[in-house]
């Protein structure tokens, strides 16, 4: 009898427990189109070891031929490349006379076309060398080292072909980028099978991707393929929420931190404004928490500037946090 009474009490307690809400469905994933099924397999040259002379340069254009993409419920399109090993040079500090490492500056571009000719209206800025992980030096210590990463730039969805090939090109207009010793490196991979050339290297350009008809896009690459890809983003309702900044004064700098809520957060950074209307990124990207940034006093103003956190996810949804009150240098 006591057992039945206890069982009755247990069942009664269970019946009044609040029902748990079903977890929200996960967002759809982007579609990646490259010369290999898995874009993570581009793991040669750009992370360390022998660079293969695979530099992105003023005289070095990488071209791939991707298949037409079946139409789908896509809202955005991006083209991208996996890059690493940006180079530095030594300069003297004008005030202290000390040796400093300076990133060799340069811009990198990509293009998309239905044929291996890339006019200016199909060419897009991709990134600068300052956002690419630096190549380490054996006898030096420096910030900014790391593995190669994918960089993406949005293109009009109408430029992505469904019934014709999609040619992608990668190059630089910087005349500093003329060798592997001064230029970033594009990642590569060894395909399991390659019956015909779907990638080429053109070393005859001068800061501009090929724009005329030619018998071949360049020297065919059979045993190796560069990390150039298409990224198609499906329609989605994902939201990236960025929290307010927490600012701590340091010696000659401030530390700013914030939290991010969302799926598959890829990048976070700090933005600055002098007028609360125009905002610019002032920090490197962070790709994982904790999202804490050190901002030197020289990047601030005695009159005060406004700061906010920002982040984006793998679906290229972006979020910005609330702006801070005016921030001045701590010293």
* DSSP secondary structure, 239-271, as one string: --EEPPPEEEEETTEEEEEE-EESSSEEEEEEE
Residue 120 has pLDDT above 90, yes or no: yes
What's residue 174's pLDDT?
Answer: 98
In the chain, % of residues over pLDDT 70:
91
Task: Let me know if residue 8 belongs to a domain.
Answer: no
Which is it for strands 166-172 and 88-92: parallel, antiparallel or unpaired? Answer: unpaired
What's residue 331's pLDDT?
Answer: 74
What's residue 217's pLDDT?
Answer: 93
Q: Under a CB-based contact definition with an 8 Å cutoff, are residues 206 and 58 in contact? A: yes
Q: Are residues 122 and 191 in the same domain?
A: yes
Q: What is the value of pTM for the model shown?
A: 0.90
Handedness of CA 203, 206, 213, 83 (dihedral sign): positive
What's residue 90's pLDDT?
Answer: 86
Taking residues 269-283, what's their average pLDDT? 97
Taking residues 43-62, what's their average pLDDT? 97
Q: Under a CB-based contact definition with an 8 Å cutoff, are residues 70 and 308 in contact? A: no
Residue 11 has pLDDT above 80, yes or no: no
Question: What is the spatial distance between Cα 312 and Cα 51, in angstroms, rounded to a whole number?
Answer: 31
Task: Let me know if residue 257 belongs to a domain.
Answer: yes
Task: Let me know if residue 24 belongs to a domain.
Answer: no
What's residue 25's pLDDT?
Answer: 77
How many CB atoms sit inside 10 A of residue 7's CB?
10
Q: Which of 37-41, 96-100, 241-245, 286-290 has the lowest mean pLDDT?
A: 96-100
Question: Which one-letter DSSP state was computed for residue 179?
Answer: S
Q: Are residues 257 and 188 in the same domain?
A: no
Task: Let me know if residue 16 belongs to a domain.
Answer: no
What's residue 192's pLDDT?
Answer: 81
Which is it for strands 31-33 and 123-128: parallel, antiparallel or unpaired? Answer: unpaired
Print burial letters for 43-74: b (CB count within 10 Å at least 16), e (below 16). ebbbbeeebeebbbbbbbbbbbbbeebeeeeb
Residue at which a domain ends, from 234, 263, 294? 234
Q: Among 101-105, 135-139, 155-159, which range has the highest average pLDDT?
A: 155-159
Residue at which a domain ends, from 179, 201, 234? 234
Q: Under a CB-based contact definition with an 8 Å cutoff, are residues 74 and 232 in contact? A: yes
What's residue 286's pLDDT?
Answer: 97
Using alpha carbons, select from 64, 76, 147, 174 the residue that is nearest to residue 111.
64
What is the CATH classification number for the domain harbouring 256? 2.60.40.10
What's the mean per-residue pLDDT of the chain? 91
Taking residues 278-286, what's their average pLDDT? 97
What's residue 260's pLDDT?
Answer: 98
Question: What is the spatial distance between Cα 291 and Cα 187, in angstroms, rounded to a whole number?
Answer: 27
Residue at which a domain ends, from 234, 268, 293? 234
Q: How far lies 58's CA from each of 2, 170, 176, 248, in Å?
A: 86, 10, 8, 43
Residue 173 has pLDDT above 70, yes or no: yes
Q: Are residues 146 and 208 in the same domain?
A: yes
Q: Are residues 59 and 154 in the same domain?
A: yes
Q: Among 131-140, 166-175, 214-223, which range has the highest average pLDDT?
A: 166-175
Q: Are residues 308 and 162 in the same domain?
A: no
What's residue 99's pLDDT?
Answer: 77
* DSSP secondary structure, 64-107, as one string: EEEPP----SEEEEEEEEEEE-B-EEEEE-TTT--EEEEEPP-E
Task: Let me know if residue 269 belongs to a domain.
Answer: yes
Task: Let me know if residue 40 belongs to a domain.
Answer: yes
Task: Let me know if residue 17 belongs to a domain.
Answer: no
What's residue 14's pLDDT?
Answer: 44
Question: Chain centroid to CA 326: how far?
Answer: 30
* Phi, psi (deg, nearest 5) at residue 309: -85, 155
How many CB atoms sit inside 10 A of residue 287's CB?
13
**270 or 22, higher pLDDT:** 270
Q: Are residues 95 and 229 in the same domain?
A: yes
Q: Under a CB-based contact definition with an 8 Å cutoff, are residues 271 and 281 in contact? A: yes
What's residue 21's pLDDT?
Answer: 65
Bridge partners of 307, per DSSP, are 272
* DSSP secondary structure, 134-147, as one string: BPP-TT---S-B--
Q: Are residues 178 and 304 in the same domain?
A: no
Q: Under a CB-based contact definition with an 8 Å cutoff, are residues 259 and 241 in contact? A: no
Residue 196 has pLDDT above 90, yes or no: no
Question: What is the spatial distance between Cα 153 and Cα 318, in angstroms, rounded to a whole number?
Answer: 14
**Using 50, 70 and 90 to split pLDDT, how confident is the model at 216?**
confident
Residue 280 has pLDDT above 60, yes or no: yes
Range of the domain at 135: 31-234
Residue 24 has pLDDT above 70, yes or no: no
Taking residues 125-144, what's their average pLDDT? 92
Q: Under a CB-based contact definition with an 8 Å cutoff, are residues 49 and 185 in contact? A: no
Taking residues 294-306, what's their average pLDDT? 94
Residue 91 has pLDDT above 90, yes or no: no
Q: Are residues 248 and 146 in the same domain?
A: no
Taking residues 8-27, what's their average pLDDT? 57
Asked if residue 116 has a cis previous peptide bond (ω within 30° of 0), the answer is no
What's residue 6's pLDDT?
Answer: 44
**92 or 87, higher pLDDT:** 87
Handedness of CA 65, 312, 54, 191 (dihedral sign): negative
Structurally, how many domains does the chain consist of? Answer: 2
* DSSP secondary structure, 220-234, as one string: E-SS-EE-EEEEEEE
Taking residues 216-226, what's their average pLDDT? 93
Task: Let me know if residue 44 belongs to a domain.
Answer: yes
Q: Are residues 225 and 245 in the same domain?
A: no
Q: For residue 158, give the 3-state DSSP assignment.
A: helix
């Amino acid at each position: 009898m006591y057992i039945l009474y206890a069982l009755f009490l247990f069942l009664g307690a269970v019946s009044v427990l609040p029902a748990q809400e079903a977890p929200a469905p996960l967002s759809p994933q982007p579609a990646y189109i490259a010369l290999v099924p898995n874009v993570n397999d581009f793991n040669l040259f750009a992370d360390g070891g022998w660079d293969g002379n695979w530099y992105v340069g003023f005289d070095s254009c990488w071209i791939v031929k991707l298949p037409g993409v079946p139409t789908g419920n896509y809202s955005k399109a991006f083209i991208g490349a996996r890059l690493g090993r940006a180079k530095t040079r030594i300069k003297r500090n004008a005030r202290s006379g000390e040796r400093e490492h300076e990133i060799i500056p340069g811009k990198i571009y990509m293009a998309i076309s239905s044929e291996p000719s890339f006019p200016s209206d199909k060419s897009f800025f991709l990134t600068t060398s300052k956002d690419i992980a630096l190549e380490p030096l054996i006898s030096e210590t420096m910030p900014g080292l790391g593995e190669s990463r994918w960089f993406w730039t949005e293109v009009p969805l109408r430029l992505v072909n469904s019934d014709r090939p999609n040619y992608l090109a990668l190059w630089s207009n910087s005349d500093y980028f003329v060798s592997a010793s001064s230029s970033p490196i594009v990642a590569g991979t060894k395909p399991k099978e390659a019956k015909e050339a779907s990638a080429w290297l053109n070393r005859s350009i001068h800061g501009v991707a090929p724009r005329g008809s030619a018998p071949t896009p360049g020297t065919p690459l059979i045993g190796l393929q560069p990390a150039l890809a298409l990224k198609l983003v499906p329609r989605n309702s994902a939201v990236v929420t960025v929290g307010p900044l927490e600012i701590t004064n340091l010696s000659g700098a401030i530390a700013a931190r914030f939290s991010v809520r969302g799926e598959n957060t890829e990048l976070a950074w700090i933005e600055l404004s002098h007028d609360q209307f125009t905002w610019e990124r002032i920090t490197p990207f962070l790709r994982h928490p904790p999202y804490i940034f050190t901002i030197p006093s020289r990047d601030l103003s005695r009159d005060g500037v406004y700061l906010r956190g920002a982040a984006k996810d793998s679906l290229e949804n972006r979020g910005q946090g609330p702006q801070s009150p005016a921030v001045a240098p701590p010293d």
